[in-house]
Amino acid sequence: MASKTTFEVAKRLARDGAEAERIAIAALPGTRPELLYYLAGDGSPAVRGAVAGNAAAPAQADRVLASDADPAVRAALGRKLAPHAAALAIAEDRLGAIAWQALCSLAQDTAIHVRAVIAEELKAMPDAPHDLILRLASDAAMEVAEPVIRLSPMLSEEDLMALIVAPPVPDTLTAVARRPALSESLSDAIATSKNEAAIGALLANPSAAIREQTLDGLIVQAATRIRWQESLVRRPSLPPRAQRALALCVAGHLLEALAARPDLAPDLARRLQDRVEARLLEGAADPPAGALFEAAARRGDHAAMARLLAQEASVTLQAVEEAVRLRSARALVSLCWQAGFGMRCALLAQSVLGQLAPGTALLPGPDGDWPLSNAEMLWQIELLADPLVRA
Are 184 and 210 spatial neighbours (Cβ–Cβ below 8 Å)? yes
Provide the pLDDT for residue 150. Answer: 97
Alpha-carbon span 355 to 250, nearest angstrom:
18
Identify the DSSP state of 300. T
Which has the closest alpha carbon to 336: 324, 326, 345? 345
Alpha-carbon span 137 to 172, nearest angstrom:
8
- Percent of the residues in the chain that have a pLDDT greater than 70, as a whole number: 95
Provide the pLDDT for residue 241. Answer: 86
Alpha-carbon span 172 to 190, nearest angstrom:
11
Are 113 and 75 spatial neighbours (Cβ–Cβ below 8 Å)? yes
CB atoms within 10 A of CB 247: 22
Which residues, 6+ apart, have CB-to-CB distance to 229 below 8 Å? 222, 246, 249, 250, 251, 254
Kindly tell me if the per-residue pLDDT of 190 is higher than 50.
yes
Q: What is the pTM of this model?
A: 0.75
Per-domain boundaries in the chain: 184-284, 289-390
Are 355 and 220 spatial neighbours (Cβ–Cβ below 8 Å)? no
Are 317 and 267 spatial neighbours (Cβ–Cβ below 8 Å)? no
Kindly tell me if the per-residue pLDDT of 31 is higher than 70.
yes
Which residues, 6+ apart, have CB-to-CB distance to 312 below 8 Å? 289, 293, 338, 339, 340, 341
Alpha-carbon span 69 to 203, nearest angstrom:
44
- Percent of the residues in the chain that have a pLDDT greater than 90, as a whole number: 64
CB atoms within 10 A of CB 388: 6
Question: Long-range contacts for 250-257 (Cβ within 8 Å, ≥24 apart)?
Answer: 251/226, 252/279, 254/226, 254/229, 254/230, 255/279, 257/233
Lowest mean pLDDT among 56-60, 118-122, 156-160, 294-298: 294-298
